[in-house]
Amino acid sequence: MSLKSENLKKYFFKIYYIGKQKYHGSQRQSNVLTIEDQLIDILIKRNYIDDLEPAEFEFASRTDRYVSARGAVFSIIPKKKPILMELNSFLPREMGLWASSPVPINYSPRYHAVSRHYRYIFPVPLDYLISEYNFNIDIVKKACSQLEGIHNFQNFSKKDNSIEDTIRELKFVNMTISNNTVFVDFISKAFLRQQIRRIIKKLMELGKNEISFEEFLNLFDAKKFVSYKPANPNGLILWDIQYDSNIKFQIDNKSVERMQNYFVSQKQKNWLKFKLFSCLEKDYLR
């Protein structure tokens, strides 16, 4: 008997995770640990699902190794009413569920997504980029505005023979600067593989005056495929995924508190490392 025939509800869940080295991306793979593996193990052990197919386990988006998420979404038809903190208590602290919503039984977190929002954090401070490369912020902001709209992003994505159509619409691309840090936000219904990281790579080259604005614009010409390595994945965050009005996520306060406590602890831990190396650097230069 299928889960659907038992009139059980389908749920979408929002989940955060940090792209630590031990995880080989979000999607299940043979013989390596992934975000999905970690989550599925707990869902089965806590008796929420038995098998993936009848439970309709599905993630809305997949992320590469070292990429993190604040608002990734997945679905299941659970065998019992979900209690987020029950699951979080058995998950490692670098990941956790923090909101949920019952959804129509035919809804897919992947195909019913209205938009996906990614945020990229530049790997070095702005003042370093300016001092070392005379980084041109204005031309990068101009390039961001050119990226908005419908374009062929073949040369801003990983070559994939299974993808015939590389035309996508970027609804929003915006660079912001806060506390000496550069952020770029991207919103679209769907993205190509490595699309954001490859865009960032070319924005960085443009800002460093390694390519001209004309050369950047020429990448929209799909007549010739241009190959290059994408930007570092560590700075990429799957920020949020939006759905229509049928889906109303309810935030679980205890789960959010758990998430925020983890973020604060990691911030403090890494602040000390930052200060340690800053101190060593300054002392060496005396």
Average confidence (pLDDT) over 185-211 = 98
Neighbouring-strand partners of residue 125: none
Assigned domain for 239 exists? no
Q: Kindly state whether residue 188 falls inside one of the protein's structural domains.
A: yes
Q: Are 178 and 190 in contact (CB under 8 A)?
A: no
CB hemisphere CA count around 194 (13 angstroms): 18
Distance CA 94, CA 173 (A): 28
Q: What is the pLDDT of residues 109-133, one digit of tens each?
A: 999 999 999 999 999 999 999 999 9
Pair 195, 155: CB distance under 8 Å: no
pTM of this structure: 0.93
159 and 186: one domain?
Answer: yes
pLDDT at position 285 is 54
61 is in which domain, residue-wise?
Answer: 4-113+246-254
The yes-or-no verdict on residue 184 having pLDDT over 60 is yes
CATH number at 88 reads: 3.30.70.580
Number of domains in the chain: 2
Residues 7-27: what's their mean pLDDT?
Answer: 95
* Average pLDDT, rounded, for the chain: 94
